[in-house]
Amino acid sequence: MNSAEVKAMALKYGADIVGIASMASFAGTAAANHPQSIFKQGRCVIVIGRRILRGTTQINENCNVKKNDPYHFFGFTQLEDQFLAKTTYDLGIWIESQGFEAVPIFGYDAEAAGRFELADPVVPGKAAPNVYVDYRIAAQAAGLGSIGRHGLFITPEFGTLQRFAMLICDDDLECDQPCEYDFCCDCQRCIESCPLQALIKHDSSVQRLDQRCKVCSAGAIPTDIGRFETVDRFAAICSLSCNQALKERNILTHCTTDF
């Protein structure tokens, strides 16, 4: 089994993008977010992404967000829990058929998850349950893109419109180089577009005020305890305005329409 074969199978099973991050990329990561806290034999992290259909965001743009709308199903919960999960599961089965182990994990919001204390460590000195790998750090280490200043992950293919899952693998696969490209540059479109001024620019960073995001009527969706009571912003105006800015700069490779 080699990296090219793994990537080819990921695409065959429905992934739109795939990269492989070295375990060395997680040096200095807290135990609560380290892949080897989940699977100590892990040698790399395979990161797979599936795109959020542009059309699913249309209802959000019209301020008509409901739990049974196309975005909620095809762009959010069902995309994560069924479509992306099936791709991850199928790839994991194939990796096992090659004689290796692959531990599948969801790309949940590790920062939000860190605010919840679920249990004590099973053994002193080990990370407490549950361990959540930050998919954004993993995806950047896998060369798929980088974290925007608004906190969303940006790829050259789809901008902010994709969701990720990961597999921790015990094979010494050839890993990708981390992405060092700054998609934001001096752009402030996400900040300027937010009607609630929930994004506040500092010298080299942007602060997000989640309490304002939770009452946003421009596409942001508050999540329940299952997703750590945070805010889904992939189809919010800050995300879509970012994608429009990327399109205008000819960054996006898989976009033919305006956002």
Cα–Cα nearest to 151, from 34, 238, 212: 238
Q: Is residue 151 located within the same domain as residue 214?
A: no
Domain count, the chain: 2
Judge if 148 and 220 occupy the same domain: no
Residue 109: the pLDDT is 84
What domain range includes position 205?
Answer: 189-248
Q: How high is the pLDDT of residue 41?
A: 96
Q: What is the pLDDT of residue 59?
A: 66
Amino acid at 1: M
Closest CA to 49 of 142, 119, 185: 142
pLDDT, position 67: 55
Find the CATH number of the domain harbouring 52: 3.40.109
pLDDT score recorded for residue 92:
98
Residue 253 lies in a domain: no
Are the C-beta atoms of 194 and 219 separated by less than 8 Å?
no
- Same domain for 230 and 127: no
Q: Check if the beta carbon of residue 216 is closer than 8 Å to that of residue 196.
A: yes
- Cα 18 to Cα 196: distance, rounded to the nearest angstrom: 35
Residues 160 and 32 in one domain: yes
Contact, 178 vs 8, CB < 8 A?
no
pLDDT tens string, the chain, 259 residues long: the values are 999 999 999 999 999 999 999 999 999 999 889 999 999 999 999 999 999 999 888 765 555 555 557 888 888 989 999 999 999 999 999 999 999 999 999 998 878 767 777 677 777 877 777 888 999 999 999 999 999 999 999 999 999 999 999 999 999 999 999 999 999 988 999 999 998 898 888 776 788 877 888 888 888 888 887 787 788 999 999 999 999 999 999 999 987 777 7
Q: Is residue 113 domain-shared with residue 212, that is, in the same domain?
A: no
Classify 143 in phi/psi space as left (phi over 0), alpha (psi -120 to 50) or beta.
Answer: left
| Cα dihedral value 20, 22, 28, 32, nearest 10 | 50
Question: Has residue 183 been placed in a domain?
Answer: no
Domain annotation covers residue 257 = no
Q: 68-83: per-residue pLDDT in tens?
A: 578 888 889 899 999 9
Do 165 and 194 lie in one domain? The reply is no
pLDDT digits (tens, 9 = 90+) for 186-218: 899 999 999 889 888 877 678 887 788 888 888
CA angle 125–127–133, rounded 5-degree value: 150
What predicted TM-score, i.e. pTM, was given to this entire model? 0.92
End residue of a domain, out of 119, 134, 169: 169
